[in-house]
């Protein structure tokens, strides 16, 4: 069974000290805002606001200001005026998503740079940053000016992995890069925890997957990019559904006595394809290993894995992984794929909280949680970012040995298989299929919200 954790959520009333000066204090409560700040840089100020309010905050690039003000128990409108001074701002309420704050010098539509809040639960690789730069930027010169070493690069995407000597150098570089006009995005390199383990069974009432590979339709075959661990051999009958495996995180062994998470997700996808296609499908799976020999992966490898899947022809991508780190680089990469008509389906997380899990919570991604007997699974994440709920368990086989896998990663894989199988069988558009899935697989009410 899958290990279930409880995430520590940030409260509105938490008081965060600014990194620029330990005496700076900003407390944003629903019943009043208080501040005592001196020479508080705008990037740090907006980061604090995003963290404590949960708003999505956007700022016009190259906008600078140091706030020096003291007040107690003011309204949000008055507090923003006092903190932002002569800068313009607009707070836009949203019905089913966080409100949006735009801070700008010229026009509201020029406030395009997203300010990321601080997530205390988001683990990241020590002394590393990911940066996305504008075309033509001399990344080598930029890294040298920061005292950084480039440890990973993708010139096609313009994204780079920078390593620094210590935490102070990392945070100093982060502040500089956030105000650099050549930089489109900068993030920590967030860590995604190991995928949950499967449970070996002595026997199972459900047999192995039996599926026929059909010829592709007039518009070609659906290709599922499975961004996960490596996939082991599925046997002669099912291996024909697997395209050549890719790896962006180094070599890993796809053999052994244990069941790899990627193998479990591949079989779950194929079983769901068979259900949707009544025993046959033209869809195939492109496995992309983003874990390598490590038990964890990072937003850097997930970004490279998504791009490898897209370059390999995937038109639907399964992401049965996630974490609490909100990466603007990963978000922009997914948005770019969606603009090309690629579908992304991700697991909502196995910690029963409403805290967003990424990449599931990015706009446009179909976030899938787990249900048991028509009810929300007791370990499953919920919240406004979740779009659908699917069965939470699957029986898969490694050779002749059955295994039980459970959790929202199974739910996402099941939904991916149904989507790909339906597209193969009916030729419907992805938009039609996704709309039908959300109607057919609604999210059950969270029992705690009904108390």
pLDDT of residue 5: 23
Q: Which of 409, 346, 403 is nearest to 377 (CA)?
A: 409
pLDDT of residue 115: 83
Q: What torsion, rounded to 10 degrees, do the Cα atoms 277, 281, 283, 289 define? A: 90
What angle (nearest 5°) sits at the alpha carbon of residue 156, between those of residues 151 and 159?
40
> From CA 48, how far away is CA 58, in angstroms rounded?
13
b/e code 6-27 from CB counts within 10 Å (16+ = b): ebeebeeeeebebbbeeebbbb
115 has which bridge partners? 57
Model's pTM, two decimal places?
0.77
pLDDT of residue 13: 24
Residue spans of the chain under pLDDT 50:
1-23, 255, 450-451
> From CA 117, how far away is CA 139, in angstroms rounded?
26
pLDDT of residue 405: 96
89 has which bridge partners? 103
pLDDT of residue 213: 94
pLDDT of residue 40: 87
129 has which bridge partners? 162, 188
End-to-end CA distance of the chain: 27
Give the strands of the sheet with 100-104, arranged side by side.
88-92, 100-104, 56-59, 113-115
Q: Which of 222, 294, 307, 306 is nearest to 261 (CA)?
A: 294
Q: Which of 128, 125, 185 is nearest to 161 (CA)?
A: 128
Show the DSSP H helices in 71-166 as ranges.
Answer: 76-84, 139-146
> From CA 121, how far away is CA 381, in angstroms rounded?
15
């Amino acid at each position: 069974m899958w290990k279930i954790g409880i995430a520590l959520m940030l409260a509105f009333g938490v008081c965060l000290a600014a990194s620029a000066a330990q005496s700076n204090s900003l407390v944003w409560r629903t019943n009043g805002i208080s501040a005592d700040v001196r020479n508080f840089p705008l990037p740090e100020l907006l980061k604090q606001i995003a963290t404590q309010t949960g708003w999505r905050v956007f700022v016009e690039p190259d906008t600078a200001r140091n706030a020096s003000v003291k007040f107690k128990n003011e309204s949000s409108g008055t507090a923003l005026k006092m903190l932002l001074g002569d800068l313009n701002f607009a707070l836009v309420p949203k019905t089913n998503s966080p409100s949006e704050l735009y801070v700008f010098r010229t026009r509201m539509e020029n406030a395009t740079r997203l300010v990321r809040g601080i997530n205390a639960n988001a683990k990241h690789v020590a002394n590393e940053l990911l940066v996305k730069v504008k075309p033509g930027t001399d990344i080598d010169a930029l890294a040298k000016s920061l005292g950084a070493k480039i440890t990973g690069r993708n010139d096609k995407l313009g994204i780079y992995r920078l390593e620094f000597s210590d935490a102070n150098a990392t945070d100093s570089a982060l502040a500089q890069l956030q105000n650099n006009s050549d930089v489109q995005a900068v993030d920590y390199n967030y860590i995604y925890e190991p995928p949950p383990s499967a449970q070996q069974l002595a026997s199972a009432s459900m047999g192995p997957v039996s599926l026929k590979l059909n010829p592709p339709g007039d518009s070609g075959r659906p290709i599922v990019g499975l961004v996960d661990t490596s996939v082991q051999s599925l046997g002669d009958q099912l291996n024909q559904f697997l395209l050549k495996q890719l790896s962006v995180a180094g070599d890993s062994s796809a053999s052994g006595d244990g069941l790899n998470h990627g193998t479990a997700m591949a079989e779950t996808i194929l079983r769901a394809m068979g259900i949707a296609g009544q025993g046959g499908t033209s869809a195939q799976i492109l496995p992309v290993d983003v874990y390598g020999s490590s038990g964890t992966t990072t937003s850097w490898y997930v970004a490279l894995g998504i791009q490898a899947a897209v370059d390999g022809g995937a038109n639907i991508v399964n992401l049965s992984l996630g974490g609490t780190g909100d990466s603007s680089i990963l978000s922009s990469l997914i948005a770019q794929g969606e603009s090309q008509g690629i579908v992304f389906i991700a697991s909502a997380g196995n910690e029963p909280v409403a805290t967003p899990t990424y990449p599931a919570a990015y706009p446009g991604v179909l976030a899938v949680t787990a249900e048991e007997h028509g009810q929300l699974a007791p370990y499953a994440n919920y919240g406004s970012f979740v779009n659908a709920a699917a069965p939470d368990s699957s029986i898969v086989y490694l050779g002749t040995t059955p295994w039980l896998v459970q959790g929202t990663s199974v739910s996402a894989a099941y939904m991916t298989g149904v989507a790909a199988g339906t597209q193969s069988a009916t030729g419907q558009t992805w938009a039609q299929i996704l709309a039908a899935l959300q109607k057919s697989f609604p999210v059950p009410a969270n029992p705690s919200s009904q108390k």
